[in-house]
Amino acid sequence: MGRLKINFSEFAAAFVVLLFGVFLIVEGNNYSLGSLRRMGPGFFPVSLGAIMVGLGAILLFQAVFAAREEIAFDWRPIVCVAGSIIVFAIITPRFGLVPAAFLMIVLSAFAERPASLKTGVITGVVMAALGYGVFIYGLGLPIDAVRW
């Protein structure tokens, strides 16, 4: 019988999903659940938490018993994606939605290896235009498209 090899990064991620599900259940129970016909404010968080606990348990089981190689941890995607969200939050009120969306997409494109500036710029232009079309034109949100 072979030795049990646990993929710790997968195990940790599954454990976080499970813990967050438990947190949602506990916090959601502070509100009225209601019924299926008249759902209360606690119904959705408790339901979502239960689903997350179930998925977290399945992922934990797979992390312990599935024979997979350890995934190498890389800071680059975390820094690029988190940084792009921070840049979006800072740029949007100062310069508007379109430049903020464009910069967010271009910066997050560098999370992938090899990073392609051309692909990031094209995707940024398309997503900024879609953001304008959906949020400003379609939904009529009071956000400046471009602020100088």
Q: What is the rounded average pLDDT of the residues 35-48?
A: 91
Per-residue pLDDT, 71: 65
Rounded Cα distance between 23 and 28, Å, is: 8
Q: Which long-range contacts (CB under 8 A, 24 or more apart) does 71-74 make?
A: 71/7, 71/9, 71/10, 73/9
**Highest mean pLDDT (candidates 35-44, 64-73, 84-93, 106-115):** 84-93
Position 100 pLDDT exceeds 70:
yes
Question: Does the pTM of the predicted model rise above 0.95?
Answer: no
If we measure between CA atoms, which residue out of 73, 67, 65, 29 comes closest to residue 47? 29
The token pair at 133 is 């079309």
The token pair at 5 is 């090899």
Rounded Cα distance between 66 and 14, Å, is: 13
Q: What is the rounded average pLDDT of the residues 97-106?
A: 95
Position 3 pLDDT exceeds 70:
no
pLDDT in tens, 46-85: 999 999 999 999 999 888 887 666 667 788 888 999 999 9
Q: What is the rounded average pLDDT of the residues 86-114?
A: 93
Of 15-24, 64-73, 119-128, which range is least confident?
Answer: 64-73
Q: What is the rounded average pLDDT of the residues 95-121?
A: 91
Q: Which residue has the higher pLDDT, 18 or 62?
A: 18
